[in-house]
Amino acid sequence: MLNLHPFTSQNALAAPPLPKIGERWALFVDIDGTLVELVAHPNMVRINASTLALLDSLRNLLGGALAMLSGRNLLDIDRLLSPLFLPAGALHGLERRDYAGNLTVANPPAEISAQVRRACQLEADLLDQVWVEEKSGIAFAMHFRAVPHAGEMVHRCAKNIAANSSGWYVVQPGNGVAELKPKGSDKGSALRALLETSPFQGRVPVVLGDDLTDETAFAMVEKLGGLAVVVGDRRPTCAHYGLGTPKDVIDWLIRLLDHLQKTELAQ
């Protein structure tokens, strides 16, 4: 059970602090709605060179302990971050890559995935401007951001598809999307698994995210004594800290980089 705090406004959450002297952080960052603004179609997202350079500098000063947590698959994450190659919990934890490049993938039976894919597409074809994003052949997102009034119908369809998947699939709600994903993995479990590997091991976990899918990661870092930072005004949340927009995230990451650089020079 997630311990959601009933904050009702963005101002109810303070901006996250910077590391204390001697405190070693492991940073986990969502992409869409956190690092970059949400757009009409995921393929339209671009991460500019200055943001990539910022992430690269943070990775170096954090000793490599920087990972992405995203609903996107690993191939898409790598495309957006190129030439960076970072550890990641992708597809809400279904795909995981550690610092050494070792991959862990949770695959349901192919016939079940094919069944869910067909059902999602059939339902989307009946709903105007609802479309299906296939992720690595194992997760299927039904997007309705262009027609928000269709959200209730889309979620009802998604729940029916999950109920007929022989227990393999669950519905993950998100911003303008209902996603069918194999059960058993989430961003919280991906974060916990990465924290058991070098160079994340023994560090204070800090996670930034905007969506409902990030709440499992927020709950995990709160449990482990880390910092959870929600982006935007979505409430309630497990997070104890907040930032308003992706621009605020970039500004805070720049402050974090400056702080880490000064701390390194002082040592």
Looking at 30, 98, 186, 211, which residue is catalytic? Answer: 30
Q: Which two tokens stand for residue 19?
A: 């590391």
Cα dist from 234 to 165, 186, 214, 257, whole Å: 30, 19, 11, 27
Assign 3-class secondary structure to 192-224.
HHHHCCCCCCCCEEEEEECCHHHHHHHHHHHHC
Measured from the Cβ of residue 43, the count of other Cβ atoms closer than 10 Å reads 10
DSSP 3-state of 2 = coil
Residue 44 DSSP SS3: helix
Q: Among this protein's residues, is 32 annotated catalytic?
A: no
In the numeric block, the tokens 């954090």 are attached to 62
The number of beta carbons lying within 10 Å of the beta carbon of residue 241 is 18
DSSP per residue, 110-149: HHHHHHHHHHHHHHHHTSTT-EEEEETTTEEEEE-TT-GG
- Cβ(140)–Cβ(131) under 8 Å? no
Q: How far is CA 24 from CA 18, 194, 210, 237, in A?
A: 11, 15, 24, 25
State whether residue 255 is helix, strand or coil. Answer: helix
Q: Are the C-beta atoms of 29 and 69 separated by less than 8 Å?
A: yes
Q: Annotated catalytic sites, by residue?
A: 30
